[in-house]
Chains A and B, each alone.
Chain A
């Protein structure tokens, strides 16, 4: 049985809207248990990142004694400066989520046109040049590449051509650029498969301008690229926290998940287990969520393509 009941709260919607939603729900079916778990993890993480900061105390203020264990006052305990760990974790989660989302978005915005143009002119010098440059960026692991550049340009804000880039913007830029080759390859491969379809020729014969034709191709290129991008949010969150852990990411006093874990490393010997275990679990569960849902999206699109 794959029937899904539509919740009552949307009963105010127009009937057409409802029936479309219902047919979509029927077609989509109930997600596999693993995917459902992934969705639950993502919802939890998003609530932590977006809702909890509205109620939690100031993550930079001392609101308790140093290294208090979890209690009703501080659900996740306090850190070595007596700051509320839940508030700090939530603020770090919000930063991670933003960096993950925006770096993938940036990578996609740059990579999809590049990959599509390269594929549209497959075999030309342009295609060749684009692919060679991308191979170079790809030759280094994302995290190592980011570490080089941040290490060399420093961890403060930088100004390029009069525009001041905050450290978090720099991290987003760097990660986005290092994702570019991976996304561009997917976009290129998809476009290559697509431009051989007869509708592309038919639309040209119909006299549609090139950008409209590419727009029609984009409709088919985008879904697999977006699914891939979703998986890469997990990698972005990992890379951001790893940079923070090495003190090469967004700098204190701004709380980051990586920074919290790095600080906690200094207090393991006094047995403040909550300090490192709880924020770390948040990170693990969030990345797991993105991986599970991303895998499911990719599987669905793979199956859709083979039909």
Chain B
């Protein structure tokens, strides 16, 4: 039994009904951010959810920590539904680290105060002295010196601040960390430090990660399993060591091609053709959401949403393209 089970979760954001909607007895227009997503994460593993902005991956992160409630479907962590009422201990078990550490910390509090707040709220420490000691310990866990406790967010660099938000999440001794673009606002050198810190913490503390990111290199480095999201749906999922070298879905391939190349000598791939259609409404109801941008779109793609089919053991892809042609295409991808 996996620690995290996401079972056919759908999330619609409904605009407020206007007067004219009410007069016409019509529901307000809805936006489907997450569409029938099912995923499992075994304890101690890392699932990376990758996709462009607007793919619904951040909404999935917010659903995982209970900041949003699914429109349908269910998310359980260790058998407990995240959308229901939670005991304090259950509440503590899943924590989030978000993209922008400046926004994630109260700018008028010192780092020490921000770290002590959850400790005292959950009575994890008795008294101020013990709280202070635990704060020092937490800072040490993420590799920061004790003096940082007295600083305010404005006086600390982005990478250090992100380590503070990780320390705060660890303060309540969670089992699962949801990492929502944890390195997107950091420069490359700092990014590497934070990524290796995260990998290290997972080993030391036996954590389970759900990493939401658009940075494929970060996902590749940290993840055991990966899921690719496009317009709210999972289009491909599987073990990281199979999905990254041999992607099956044309969208995954595009993402991999669009990766910035570290070596300027190697020509980069064709990249993502015309990203604007992502904002456009789908070409029509039903059918594959990706067909408007897909170089291999066929007549069959218009008819139904391709189901997530098993293409290899533990590797799923939602594409109608025959496996042979698929493999031929895959060989083009520099690995």
- List chain A positions with a Cβ less than 8 A from chain B: 123, 197-199, 201-209, 212, 216, 219-220, 307
Partner of A202, one of B91, B108, B165: B165
Does the CB pair A219–B109 fall under 8 Å?
A: yes
Does the CB pair B118–A207 fall under 8 Å?
A: yes
From A212, which residue of chain B is reached at the shortest CB distance? B121
Does the CB pair B121–A208 fall under 8 Å?
A: yes
From A208, which residue of chain B is reached at the shortest CB distance? B121
Across the interface, which residues of A come within 8 angstroms of B171, CB to CB? 206
Please judge, given known A-B contacts A201-B96, A307-B154, whether A206 and B118 are in contact too, CB under 8 Å. Answer: yes
Across the interface, which residues of B come within 8 angstroms of A198, CB to CB? 98-100, 103-104
Does the CB pair A220–B100 fall under 8 Å?
A: no
Does the CB pair A220–B103 fall under 8 Å?
A: no
- CB of B255 within 8 Å of the partner chain: no
A-B contact pairs, 6 of them (CB 8 A): A197-B103, A199-B103, A199-B106, A202-B169, A204-B67, A216-B117
From B119, which residue of chain A is reached at the shortest CB distance? A206
A289 to B335, CA, bound (A): 71
Q: How far is the CB of B72 from chain A (nearest CB, A)?
A: 22
- CB of B95 within 8 Å of the partner chain: yes
Q: How far is the CB of A123 from chain B (nearest CB, A)?
A: 6
Q: How many residues of B contact A (CB 8 A)?
A: 33
- CB of B41 within 8 Å of the partner chain: no
Please judge, given known A-B contacts A201-B96, A205-B94, A207-B91, whether A220 and B108 are in contact too, CB under 8 Å. Answer: yes
- CB of B262 within 8 Å of the partner chain: no
Partner of A199, one of B67, B105, B169: B105
From A219, which residue of chain B is reached at the shortest CB distance? B108
Partner of A201, one of B16, B67, B105: B67
Across the interface, which residues of B come within 8 angstroms of A197, CB to CB? 103-104
Query: Which residues between 83 and 135 of chain B lie within 8 Å of chain A, taking CB atoms?
Result: 86, 88, 91-92, 94-96, 98-100, 103-109, 114, 117-118, 121-122
A197 to B106, CA, bound (A): 9
Does the CB pair A202–B96 fall under 8 Å?
A: yes
Across the interface, which residues of A come within 8 angstroms of B107, CB to CB? 220
- CB of B66 within 8 Å of the partner chain: yes
Across the interface, which residues of A come within 8 angstroms of B66, CB to CB? 205
A209 to B92, CA, bound (A): 13
- CB of B168 within 8 Å of the partner chain: yes
Across the interface, which residues of A come within 8 angstroms of B191, CB to CB? none
As a 0/1 sequence over residues 6 to 28 of chain B, the CB contacts with chain A under 8 angstroms (1 = contact) are 00000000001000000000000
- CB of B49 within 8 Å of the partner chain: no
Q: How far is the CB of B254 from chain A (nearest CB, A)?
A: 30
A202-B98, A203-B118 given; 14 more Cβ-contact pairs under 8 Å: A198-B98, A198-B99, A198-B104, A199-B105, A201-B96, A201-B98, A202-B96, A205-B96, A206-B92, A206-B168, A207-B122, A212-B121, A216-B109, A220-B107
Please judge, given known A-B contacts A198-B103, A198-B104, whether A206 and B95 are in contact too, CB under 8 Å. Answer: yes
